[in-house]
Amino acid sequence: MGAFLNHAQHRKKSKKLKMSNSVLIIDFGSQVTQLIARRIREFGVFSEVKNCDITLDEIKKIAPKAIIFSGGPSSVYEKDAPTIDKKVFELGLPILGICYGQQLICHLLGGEVGAAADREFGHAVIEINNKSPLFENGDAHMNSSRVWMSHGDKVEKIPVDFVVIAKTPNAPFAAISHEAKKIYGVQFHPEVEHSIDGRAMLKNFVINIAGCRPDWTMKDFKKEEIIAIKKLVGEKRVICGLSGGVDSSVVAALINEAIGKQLTCIFVDHGLLRKGEGAQVKEVFGEKFQTNLVYVDASELFLSKLAGVSDPEKKRKIIGATFIEVFDAESAKIKDADFLAQGTLYPDVIESSHPNKGASHTIKSHHNVGGLPENMKLKLLEPVRMLFKDEVRVLGRELGLPEHVVGRHPFPGPGLAIRIIGEITEEKIKILQEADAIYIEEIRKAGLYDKIWQAFSVLLPVKTVGVMGDARTYENDLALRAVTSIDGMTADVYRYDAEFLCHVTSRIINEVRGINRVVYDFTSKPPGTIEWE
Ligand code: XMP
């Protein structure tokens, strides 16, 4: 953890009352635990995820208003299965167990859990057979609901004093409750979109049953973080590495609002940016926000080191090492800097604290080009470490960052270096910048930009024959890519209208010298990756 007070700690110090308005999610390893937190924050209630090794004392310290046990891949009856101190039920807090969480409640309170004869994955319709505030729907009451099931085990006997509140032919204990103690268990996953009334059920639990006030707003967050940053930094200086992307831009704008000229932003231009990107950074952080901006044009250094290199991983390593070299040299010039600001987001915080950090974690680590040297003496300042990406965007708007910055598609650290397949030359960078600018301009004009996770062009090391006017051409090929995704870990191809692609193709071929053929990439991830290198 960085030196920065995390949001929860800060709340506890500054507003004792508000702290007890949060929901604590205890993670038992489900792939969708973060979704529970996002859903609850959507209702305006602060919610945080903690690993299942959390102790009772730690829970008491957090003092949540309600607790949710997430799902998970284990079986409660197995040796070493993740569990929780039974005394958690004596805290008198409302508790909702989801899937594994429901099984754990039953296991700990005297019910029985076993392997289901038929594992169940997919849609099911629950019949709500007992009135419960969990299933209220405005003034009415749900009678049935389409939900998403994903489990191998199931509850076989519920604890004494619990009642069944919903069932399916396959799951006689689809939802159970102890209304007086406000303890609930559901076998399905209300947090996923496929559970049609899932949001309403979670809202019922958080607001109606647990009594949380929906008063957590980004305005409050901003105010509190600014106070916390001021207090922590005092008279010292902060360095922020700006990449032009959403996260570092929001962090810089936030810290700038807190401490103004005590912040220095360093932007390393490696010469592999998109057209106009460097100028935008200067405009936003140099002119609009008037920050101390150190703009380092290191493009010659980067390009000379990359000369003749075609291997993607070698490109990444060279760019990563050169970035550190340049950044280090610049930051050493800033005397009395005590802090380094970073745009770490909540998913990274949760992932890196999880004992079962799986393949997904490893896959991401090679992406941390622009990561900083381990021997850096600065303390970390990570003011958005409790936020999800969409929340960071809301904060960015709150801080007055322009839409083209907060809504920007992700852009890899090595930039166009991994979108020029094979060797990189200045001429190729220029061609790719021009073509990509047309592609993105057309996407924006068609109102499609926000529907796409990431769209970009790739310059291929292939030349093909064409005919322009009466002359034969022999020029480069360009691939267009656009994908939809939630987190970049998996991705689907964006389905454009063919007319749109024809229009973009014709503009690129007519306006960019050096390209005479354009193709569209229809590969999803997996089996492909989003980038070509
Ligand atoms: P892939 O290509 O692995 O990309 O499907 C997933 C997401 O990660 C981005 N990406 C990178 N980001 N440095 C980065 O900062 C990298 O080396 C890198 N490689 C891929 C990619 O743009 C996508 O959003």
Ligand 1: does its nearest atom lie under 6 Å from the Cβ of 412?
yes
- Integer Cα distance of 357 and 348 in angstroms: 11
- Distance, CA 530 to ligand 1 centroid (Å)? 7
Q: Name the closest-CA residue to atom 11, ligand 1.
A: 412
Query: ω into residue 73 within 30 of 0, thus cis?
Result: no
- Integer Cα distance of 289 and 250 in angstroms: 12
Strands (E), 187-325: 237-242, 263-269, 292-297
Task: Judge contact between 151 and 171, C-beta under 8 A.
Answer: no
Write the DSSP string, 314-330: HHHHHHHHHHHHHHHHH
- Distance, CA 484 to ligand 1 centroid (Å)? 14
- Distance, CA 441 to ligand 1 centroid (Å)? 22
Q: Name the closest-CA residue to atom 12, ligand 1.
A: 412
- Distance, CA 451 to ligand 1 centroid (Å)? 19
pLDDT of residue 373: 54
Ligand 1: does its nearest atom lie under 6 Å from the Cβ of 454?
yes
3-state DSSP helix/strand/coil % of the chain, to nearest 5 = 40, 25, 35
Rounded to 5°, the CA angle 140-142-145 comes to: 150
- Integer Cα distance of 474 and 516 in angstroms: 8
- Distance, CA 167 to ligand 1 centroid (Å)? 43
pLDDT of residue 67: 98
- Integer Cα distance of 357 and 45 in angstroms: 27
- Distance, CA 445 to ligand 1 centroid (Å)? 26
pLDDT of residue 376: 64
CB atoms within 10 A of CB 430: 14
Ligand 1: does its nearest atom lie under 6 Å from the Cβ of 528?
no
Ligand 1: does its nearest atom lie under 6 Å from the Cβ of 466?
no
Q: Name the closest-CA residue to atom 4, ligand 1.
A: 530
Atom of ligand 1 nearest to the CA of 529: 5
In testing the pocket of ligand 1, which one of 324, 360, 367, 372 has its CB within 8 Å of the most ligand atoms? 367
- Distance, CA 531 to ligand 1 centroid (Å)? 6
Ligand 1: does its nearest atom lie under 6 Å from the Cβ of 529?
yes
Q: Name the closest-CA residue to atom 6, ligand 1.
A: 488
Low-confidence ranges of the chain (pLDDT < 50): 1-19, 356-370
Atom of ligand 1 nearest to the CA of 533: 2
Q: Name the closest-CA residue to atom 16, ligand 1.
A: 367
Task: Judge contact between 208 and 219, C-beta under 8 A.
Answer: no
Ligand 1: does its nearest atom lie under 6 Å from the Cβ of 531?
yes
- Integer Cα distance of 309 and 311 in angstroms: 6
pLDDT of residue 372: 55
Residue 318's alpha-carbon distances to 37, 315, 323, 365, 420, in angstroms, are 38, 5, 8, 16, 15
- Integer Cα distance of 373 and 328 in angstroms: 9
Ligand 1: does its nearest atom lie under 6 Å from the Cβ of 410?
yes
List Cβ neighbours of 62 (8 Å cut-off, separation of 6 or more). Answer: 8, 12, 19, 22, 24, 48, 50
Q: Name the closest-CA residue to atom 13, ligand 1.
A: 367
In testing the pocket of ligand 1, which one of 318, 524, 530 has its CB within 8 Å of the most ligand atoms? 530
Ligand 1: does its nearest atom lie under 6 Å from the Cβ of 488?
yes
3 state SS of 372: coil
Task: Judge contact between 271 and 298, C-beta under 8 A.
Answer: yes
Atom of ligand 1 nearest to the CA of 316: 17
Task: Judge contact between 437 and 274, C-beta under 8 A.
Answer: yes
Nearest to 422 by CA among 517, 306, 530: 306
pLDDT of residue 85: 97
**Residues with catalytic annotation?**
99, 189, 191
Atom of ligand 1 nearest to the CA of 366: 17
In testing the pocket of ligand 1, which one of 274, 521, 531 has its CB within 8 Å of the most ligand atoms? 531
Ligand 1: does its nearest atom lie under 6 Å from the Cβ of 316?
yes
Residue 507's alpha-carbon distances to 302, 434, 455, in angstroms, are 31, 11, 17
pLDDT of residue 193: 85
List Cβ neighbours of 434 (8 Å cut-off, separation of 6 or more). Answer: 275, 511, 512
> What is this structure's pTM?
0.81
- Distance, CA 241 to ligand 1 centroid (Å)? 19
3 state SS of 134: helix
Looking at the DSSP bridge assignments, the partners of residue 492 are 484
- Distance, CA 412 to ligand 1 centroid (Å)? 5
Ligand 1: does its nearest atom lie under 6 Å from the Cβ of 369?
yes
